Amino acid sequence: MIKRGKFIVFEGPDGCGKSTIAKMIRNELLDIEIDCVLTREPGGTKTGEKIRDILLNKDNIISASTEALLMASARAQHIEELIKPSLNLGKQVLCDRFVVSSLVYQGIGRNLGINRVEKLNEFAVDICPDLTIFFDLDYETALGRRNIRKTSDRMEDMDDDFHYKIHEGYKRIYSEYKEKYNIIRIDSSDKIEKVFCTAFDKVKEILEV
Ligand code: TMP
């Protein structure tokens, strides 16, 4: 019988470095011949990536509730089409963002309320991460990293107040929901190699390798 894979999620505010670390972890796992897929939200499937384009395109006017629904729609497709089938084949699934992003960005950032966004996601989600790594770094450093990027999307283009809310929102979700979503916090302000080593140790622990 195939042993079901583990579902590992990478979370944090824009500019926290999670996507770079997720890629490094994927490469390292493949090097040691551990079958894994790296995917992302919103996106991860053909349909989900189309929804991502709508969500992140600066020309689009999208209300807060529409935004939350589209995030959840892309997630529902992602779970059914990619995440669950991969886990059932024994692959380890590494996912750049998941439900916690909706709780923070839509629940707190857009003021929809954490409970309402969580309820909305109940319709789309029937799995829980085995591990969620929250990459935490100080607000100023994240801001600096965002500012040196040449392009920005509809979310990154939000004002500093919004991003500050997101920053504080992650800390709140971590303190109140860490058991529910299996969240651990990593200090992401260290050098990238150090952050990678800390994150990779946690991943190996969960994968028992
Ligand atoms: P990314 O730049 O990390 O790929 O994420 C895309 C943007 O989408 C990022 O600004 C966070 C946002 N987002 C939400 O607002 N809610 C969600 O549920 C997810 C998955 C992402």
Residue 147 has pLDDT above 90, yes or no: no
pTM value > 0.85: yes
**Closest listed residue to residue 111, CA positions, set 68, 158, 76:** 68
Distance 62 CA to ligand 1 centre (A): 14
Distance 64 CA to ligand 1 centre (A): 13
Report pLDDT for 14: 93
Residue 117 has pLDDT above 90, yes or no: yes
**Closest listed residue to residue 100, CA positions, set 35, 32, 184:** 184
Distance 86 CA to ligand 1 centre (A): 22
Span 164-181, average pLDDT: 98
Ligand 1, residues 51, 65, 97: which to mutate, most atoms within 8 A of Cβ?
Answer: 97
Residue 9 has pLDDT above 90, yes or no: yes
Q: Do the beta carbons of residue 106 and residue 71 sit within 8 Å?
A: yes
Q: What is the pLDDT of residues 83-105, one digit of tens each?
A: 999 999 999 999 999 999 999 99
Residue 66 has pLDDT above 90, yes or no: yes
Q: What is the pLDDT of residues 177-197, one digit of tens each?
A: 999 999 999 999 999 999 999
Residue 139's pLDDT band, with cuts at 50, 70 and 90, is very high
Residue 49 has pLDDT above 90, yes or no: yes
Dihedral pair phi/psi, residue 95, rounded to 5°: -125, 125
CA distance 73 to 86: 19
The residue written with tokens 């079958």 in the block is 35
CA distance 125 to 154: 25
